[in-house]
Amino acid sequence: MCYKCVDIASWVQGGWRGQPGAARRIAKETRGWTIWLQASSQGTEILCILLFTSRALLPNLRPMLRYTLSRLQSLILSLIVASIVIFATVEVVPGDPASFMLGMNAQPDTIAALREQLGLDVPLWQRYLHWATGLLGGDFGTSYTYRTPISEMIGDRLWISLPLAIYALTLSTLIAFPAGILAATRRGSATDVGVMGITQLGVAIPNFWFAMLMVLVFAINLRWFSAGGFPGWEDPLLAMKALTLPAIALALPQASILARVMRSALLDTLSEDYVRTARAKGLTRRQTLWRHALRNALIPVLTIIGLQFSFLMAGAIIIENVFFLPGLGRLVFQAISQRDLIVVESVVMLLVFAVIIVNFAVDIAYAIVDPRLRGNR
Amino acid sequence: MSLLSISNLNLSIRKKPILRDVSLSVDAGQIVGIIGESGSGKSMTAYCVTQLLPEGLTATGDIRFNGKNILSTSETDMCAIRGAEISMVFQEPMTALNPVHTIGQQVAETILIHEPQTSKAEALERARDALNRVELPESRFPLSRYPHEMSGGQRQRVVIAMAIALRPKLLIADEPTTALDVTTQAEILTLLTRLVREDGMGLMIITHDLAVVADMADYIHIMQQGQIVEHGPADRLFQTMQHPYSKALLAASAHVPDREPPQGETPLLEVRNVLRDYALPRTKLFAKPESFRAVNDVSFTIRKGESLGLVGESGCGKSTLTRAILGLEEIQGGEILLSGEPVFTGKKPNRAVRRKMQVVFQDPYGSFNPRHRVDRLITEPFYLLDTTPPDREDRIAEALRSVGLTPDDAFKYPHEFSGGQRQRIAIARALIIKPELIILDEAVSALDVSIRAQILDLLAELSETHGLTYLFISHDLSVVRSITDRVLVMQHGKIVEQGETQSVFDNPTDIYTQTLIAAAPRLPEDLRNF
């Protein structure tokens, strides 16, 4: 889905090579939308998969649909509230972008002129409306500092942050599930103690330190990976390779937490009455685990996965810095230090959008796992 | 040869004996009752038979099922026996089913596990048959139902359907009706008896309630501290009982505390035409949500020093009414007065009135904060007073002494006490600010019969010494009969019958009251005054 959107933009650009002005205009218009689509692609893809699998799982889709609609209502409401809060918070932070851009010795009338040019002289609510309606059309406005469309700035960086987050989350899930299940089924054994010990370490180690250690071992000594930077997506394999060390560094603490949650959730469900009922029916321990305990243990695990994805999207700044990745985190960081308020607002809004979409997907996943949440027929 | 014969079964946990030389047998088509209080080892006996003991425990002795030595059977072979030849039904129907699978899937699973060659469609068809046999007809209970869409009694039927789907030779029912209402209990017991007669299977029914098995079982074993202290054919056992424990158990079941009839006619609590509505979830975005009337036009009066019973099955509105009386929720109509003053004024409970009543809840485990000491727990009602009384320590000592504990117990934590002692602490907590009315919400329902008898005696004694008035809410008719002067019967939010306890129980006029009383399990009549 994301590839296609970007393709349209570049295809339009390429096809209109004769008239660069028109191409840029169309590219600019479509670019705004591609960002929304990219950001929501993660959520909608999960949603599509879930809806398709749910068709197989659910004998009756109606309550599911009703539930989805009610969740959608709260999603839209959250977005509106979030946009107001973000705008208000960023605007009350002291520091005037115009005077910052012009430096310490700028004349007051120059600053006033620039403020007017940037649209900072109109009342707050008008600026909010302008910004919000712009967002709806995919127009994020223009960066105060770089004078380039924000959608372009974000677009490039999203293509690093989003794949990195998905990569790290996949790794963490792939590690955590088997580790958690193994520890829970062999409670008290050497395996359990081992898993608990390693995950304790994983939570305790700062991930930037672990990242530097990996750079030292795998990039500098063994030369398996490059120490940082991002070569672009022309060669997807190379790009994935560049993201591997950062993804591992991000996944380590996440996997540790997730494995522990998986273990304790599974231990809780294994002591439930219905597990005893299943055993009394003649199921072996293993069958009981896979058929009855695991699905019931998924609710807390899904919650953590949702939180972790949000964190990975927005909170990768340090790792992006260690590996010199031009991701969203670094963009926000730079924008804040340069008082480029509109960039901060837009990126934060985009991240909030991603978080809300992920939460929505998690809510839907809850209902698929647990029929009680779908409500009665 | 018996279907199941257990001889000299022993089990201990960390050197502490749980079962001591237990021997019993169950024949095909026979109903064997095992009776005992908590910790008597009755459930452990069942787990030994199915080899579902907690990890690390092994029993010694001999268990023969159909001639096969159970204790030396491998886990793989046990899996083939469980569910197919020996099935189990447990106490808690609310949690015994997996919430994320449909009832059809869960019943069919029993069949698919033991006969893997069966097609899924065929298994579902046979699941349908099993559900029909437990009286859950297709029209109202399609296979696609989830457990949360059913009541406790219906869920217990599903559990039974799972257990009998393969027509096992032996069914073990561990407190199958303890969590259910009396009428539902009667239905489930009838169902189990019918299935035993139809299939000729053996039934081992485990319960703490003598009355439940008194007219159902063929043979009864009474257990105490891991031993069988008395056993015999059900029709003669009650007459031939020898062991002091079984006699005490029987006496406790039918225990009636000594009470003085109340004096005077002064009304203490007046409940007049009370309505309590709950808003239902919105169906349309802007429409006014519909409401459910949980308490519908309820009126009654409790006189000073009286003990009034409130009887009804789950969902009848008795807990809602309790919350309204305590001023925890606003009512939508009518008024509730304590000594002539409203309990709820200006959107919040009236503190001055509120301090004149206290409540004791059912669960002696859940109603205390486990991290607080007893002194802090029982002085919690002081928050209702304007200032903490200066004689705090004396009051704690007095409250504890009056419920039969010692003042030193104030420095212990709740986990250091047994269930019965905890209920005493809960009563001490209610007494400490010297209330006039105590609401007992299923206060003795979770207790063993002998402990229950002690607590009932304590309540009777306190009512005299402290001049207390009780509102006694319970689903257990025999308890209500033994401790109340008057009784209210509640159904669907309405009071359907009220009157003197004795006359309501002897000559119920309302149909619902008659059903309730008929459904309540009873000990043989000639033993009531044992």
Query: Residue A3: is its pLDDT beyond 50?
Result: no
Best residue in B94, B100, B106, B286 for a mutation probing chain A (most A CBs within 10 Å): B100
Best residue in B53, B94, B95, B98 for a mutation probing chain A (most A CBs within 10 Å): B98
More confident residue, A35 or A209: A209
- Determine contact, residues B11/B59, Cβ cutoff 8 Å: yes
Give Cα separations from A338 to A49, A144, B175 (angstroms): 41, 9, 71
Identity at B329, one-letter amino acid code: E
- Position A15 scores a pLDDT of 36
- Position B282 scores a pLDDT of 67
Give Cα separations from B431 to A50, B42, B402, B459 (angstroms): 56, 36, 9, 11
- Determine contact, residues A179/A255, Cβ cutoff 8 Å: yes
Three-state SS at B491: strand
Query: Residue B251: is its pLDDT beyond 70?
Result: yes
Quote the CA–CA distance of B149 and B102 in Å, as a whole number. 10
**Which residues does chain A have within 8 Å of residue B114's beta carbon, measured at their own beta carbons?**
282
Give residue A50's pLDDT band: very low, low, confident or very high (50, 70, 90).
Answer: low
Query: Residue B76: is its pLDDT beyond 80?
Result: yes
Mean of all residue pLDDT scores within chain B: 87
Query: Residue A31: is its pLDDT beyond 80?
Result: no
Is A280's CB within 8 Å of B100's CB? Answer: no
Quote the CA–CA distance of A310 and A333 in Å, as a whole number. 17
Q: What percent of chain B has pLDDT over 90?
A: 27
Between B92, B98, B144, which is nearest A292 by CB? B98
Give residue A24's pLDDT band: very low, low, confident or very high (50, 70, 90).
Answer: very low
- Position B308 scores a pLDDT of 92
Q: What average pLDDT does this structure show over A264-283?
A: 90
Quote the CA–CA distance of B356 and B352 in Å, as a whole number. 7
Provide the token pair at B388. 């903490």
Give residue B149's pLDDT band: very low, low, confident or very high (50, 70, 90).
Answer: confident
Give residue B294's pLDDT band: very low, low, confident or very high (50, 70, 90).
Answer: confident
Query: Residue B44: is its pLDDT beyond 50?
Result: yes
CA distance A43 to chain B (A): 24
Instruction: Give the chain A residue nearest B51 (alpha carbons).
Output: A280
Give residue ranges of A with CB < 8 Å to any B CB: 59-60, 272-274, 276-284, 287, 291-292, 295-296, 369-372, 376-377
Is A281's CB within 8 Å of B97's CB? Answer: no
Instruction: Give the chain A residue nearest B161 (alpha carbons).
Output: A281
**Which residues does chain B have within 8 Å of residue A60's beta carbon, measured at their own beta carbons?**
144
- Which range (A130-134, B209-213, B488-492, B524-528) has the least confidence? B524-528
Give residue B27's pLDDT band: very low, low, confident or very high (50, 70, 90).
Answer: very high
Between A59, A287, A296, which is nearest B98 by CB? A296
Identity at B454, one-letter amino acid code: Q
Is A284's CB within 8 Å of B76's CB? Answer: yes
- Position A177 scores a pLDDT of 93
Give residue B151's pLDDT band: very low, low, confident or very high (50, 70, 90).
Answer: confident
Provide the token pair at B371. 């991290």
Query: Residue A208: is its pLDDT beyond 60?
Result: yes
Evaluated on CA atoms B118, B119, B120, B122, the torsion sign reads negative
Burial A273-295 (b: 16+ CB within 10 A, else e): bbbbbbbbbbbbeebbbebbbbb
- CA B117 to chain CA centroid, nearest Å: 41
Domain A146-337 indexed as CATH 1.10.3720.10: yes
Helix (H) or strand (E) holding B345: strand B344-345
pTM: 0.78
Quote the CA–CA distance of B190 and B518 in Å, as a whole number. 13
Query: Residue A182: is its pLDDT beyond 50?
Result: yes
Between A280, A369, A371, which is nearest B82 by CB? A280
Quote the CA–CA distance of A245 and A374 in Å, as a whole number. 40
Query: Residue A45: is its pLDDT beyond 80?
Result: no
Query: Residue A27: is its pLDDT beyond 60?
Result: no
Mean of all residue pLDDT scores within chain A: 78
- CA A113 to chain CA centroid, nearest Å: 38
Query: Residue A353: is its pLDDT beyond 80?
Result: yes
- Position B30 scores a pLDDT of 93
CA distance A293 to chain B (A): 9
Q: What average pLDDT does this structure show over A115-126?
A: 76
Give residue B81's pLDDT band: very low, low, confident or very high (50, 70, 90).
Answer: very high
- Position A341 scores a pLDDT of 77
Query: Residue B287: is its pLDDT beyond 80?
Result: no
- Which range (A35-44, B94-103, B340-349) has the least confidence? A35-44
Quote the CA–CA distance of A368 and A55 in Å, as a whole number. 10
- Position A49 scores a pLDDT of 53
**Which residues does chain B have within 8 Å of residue A57's beta carbon, measured at their own beta carbons?**
none
Query: Residue A354: is its pLDDT beyond 70?
Result: yes
In chain B, the domains with their CATH numbers are 4-97+169-253 (3.40.50.300)
Between A273, A282, A291, which is nearest B79 by CB? A282
CA distance B154 to chain A (A): 16
Give residue B90's pLDDT band: very low, low, confident or very high (50, 70, 90).
Answer: confident
